[in-house]
Amino acid sequence: MKLNRSSSVRSTQSTPQPRRSNSVDAKPNTTTKPTRSNSAPPTANRPPSDVSTGSPSRTRPRNPEGAAKVNGTDAGAAKKPTTNSEIRAWYKQQVAGIPANDAKLAAQGASLEDRAKAAHAIRHKARVDARQFMGTFESALLKARDFFKYGRLDGPSFDQLVGEAKKSGLSEAQAYDKIINSSQRTNQAVDNIYAKPQAKL
């Protein structure tokens, strides 16, 4: 009996072969990868945030006492004087700081001219600032006085004081020394006028 070769081969090829399974059940995987979460951490664990943006705050913690020192009397920004007597006391306080500043400049080796300019600058600024605290009428009166006496609304300039001192026979060095000393003295007549407490402006 003759066997059909083609039919035997076909029958052999059609025999199903065991298939390799790619399913997870074929090879259990006990390791699990951590999943990334884009959600924000709990509110309790989050750092203090900015009220407007919600982003973590990068500023230093607030310090009310420190803020008071920066904006208060330690920073030279004392309570604004409101009466003429308070304004005059404030003015005299600014002028009283000239000797200490002059001594500091002298210790640093500043020239006599620079020391005189510094003393005049402190006195002049105190004069201008004090008048800004005052009422319009009082300020106008003092400006008128300075204009008739010095030809300027806000008192004499540094060069003007040097020139007047030289005209009186003083040397340049003596003129500088005179400016330093005179800058430390206030007008006693004006001090007496505003010595008593007055109503607020």
**Per-residue pLDDT tens over the stretch 54-94:** 444 444 434 433 333 333 333 345 578 888 889 999 999 99
Q: What angle do CA 39, 44, 48 make, to 5 degrees?
A: 95
User: Residue 9 falls within a domain, yes or no?
Assistant: no
User: Residue 5 falls within a domain, yes or no?
Assistant: no
User: Residue 170 falls within a domain, yes or no?
Assistant: yes
Closest to 116 measured CA to CA, from 171, 44, 47? 171
- The amino acid at residue 55 is S
Output the pLDDT for position 188. 84
Mean pLDDT in the chain?
73
User: Residue 10 falls within a domain, yes or no?
Assistant: no
Output the pLDDT for position 20. 52
Tell me the mean pLDDT in the region 23-27. 46
Structural domains in the chain (count): 1
**Per-residue pLDDT tens over the stretch 133-178:** 988 888 898 899 889 988 998 899 999 999 999 999 999 999 999 9
Who contacts 47 (Cβ-Cβ below 8 Å, separation ≥6)? 56, 57
User: Residue 126 falls within a domain, yes or no?
Assistant: yes
User: Residue 200 falls within a domain, yes or no?
Assistant: no
User: Residue 117 falls within a domain, yes or no?
Assistant: yes
Answer yes or no: are the C-beta atoms of 156 and 173 closer than 8 Å: no
Output the pLDDT for position 197. 62
**Per-residue pLDDT tens over the stretch 105-135:** 999 999 999 999 999 999 999 999 999 998 8
CA distances to 55, 71, 73, 77 from 169, rounded to whole Å, are 71, 47, 43, 41
**Per-residue pLDDT tens over the stretch 174-197:** 999 999 999 999 888 888 887 766
Closest to 124 measured CA to CA, from 158, 79, 81? 158
- For residue 178, what are the domain limits? 81-192
Who contacts 56 (Cβ-Cβ below 8 Å, separation ≥6)? 46, 47, 48, 49, 50
User: Residue 198 falls within a domain, yes or no?
Assistant: no
Is the pTM higher than 0.75? no
